[in-house]
Amino acid sequence: MVLFIQHIDIEGPGTIADFLEDNAIPYVVVDLSQGDKVPKLEKDFHSVVCLGGPMNVYEEEKYRFLKEEDFLLKRIVDEGVPFLGICLGAQLIAKATGARVIKNPEKEIGWYKIVLNENGLKDDLFKDLPEVFKVFQWHGDTFGIPYGGKRLAFSELCQNQALKYGRNICGIQFHVEVTKEMIARWADVYKNELDSLEGLVSDRQKMLDDYAALEKDYMRQAEQFYVNFFTTAGLLKKKFFSF
């Protein structure tokens, strides 16, 4: 079973859940913003996916669940449970493994190119993916690479786009799971943030237009990424799914 840790209702598992359903892999979603408790690490959890959110990892006084979540993530690392952190989730796993999380020099919101470095090109997480490809971004912070970890990808505006720690602990700053509907919803809910950065980042309509233009490649890349991660996690034996 896959455990999803969700931090706000509008940032759910998206196309990852579609992938798991189509491959008959069970999952459960725990939404901390809705009062769900940080779960214990059960034997039934064969993989954990930690999703995004508008909070910062250092806001533990405002979001009390972050401290409990940090304890859970440290145990996940200690026990080697396959883990994928997305955006905030990647920052949280970086913090749990001893790296710093700070403000990025510039916010990335919209569609940007990322580049796989030598480590990324060799890592199974990015198997059969191009060296350079476009992803959806929405973040203001950035994570460091923990001691003993590896950087796998970078972008022009943010040097740390993907990390690997040990065999099964992965974090990506960008989003692979978003749908057109999710992007539109985020643009509405986070409108004040977009308005405050007018002229510096993509606006709502451009993000949706870019999605339409990139959808085919984006979905194919997402599928390959899911195949890679869940195969490494031991939950997928061969490729069955197609967007």
Active site residue 139: no
The pLDDT assigned to 238 comes to 56
Single out the catalytic residue among 11, 69, 177, 223. Answer: 177
CA 60/CA 95 separation, integer angstroms: 12
The tens-digit pLDDT sequence of the chain (243 residues) is 999 999 999 999 999 999 999 999 999 999 999 999 999 888 789 999 999 999 999 999 999 999 999 999 999 999 999 999 999 999 999 999 999 999 999 999 999 999 999 999 999 999 999 999 999 999 999 999 999 999 999 999 999 999 999 999 999 999 999 999 999 999 999 999 998 887 777 789 999 999 999 999 999 999 999 999 999 999 987 554 444
The pLDDT assigned to 241 comes to 46
Question: Which residue, chain included where needed, has tokens 């989730």?
Answer: 89
pTM here is 0.95
The DSSP secondary structure of 51-75, one letter per residue, reads: ---SS-TT-TTTSTHHHHHHHHHHH
The pLDDT assigned to 237 comes to 74
The per-residue b/e assignment along 120-153, b for 16 or more CB within 10 angstroms, e otherwise, is: beebebbeebeeebbbbbbbebbbbbbeebbbbb
Cα dihedral 76, 69, 178, 233, rounded to 10, equals: 10
What domains can be seen in the chain, in order of their start residue? Answer: 2-232 (3.40.50.880)
The pLDDT assigned to 43 comes to 77
Q: Are 138 and 187 in contact (CB under 8 A)?
A: no
Single out the catalytic residue among 87, 139, 158, 170. Answer: 87
Active site residue 177: yes
Q: Are 163 and 170 in contact (CB under 8 A)?
A: yes
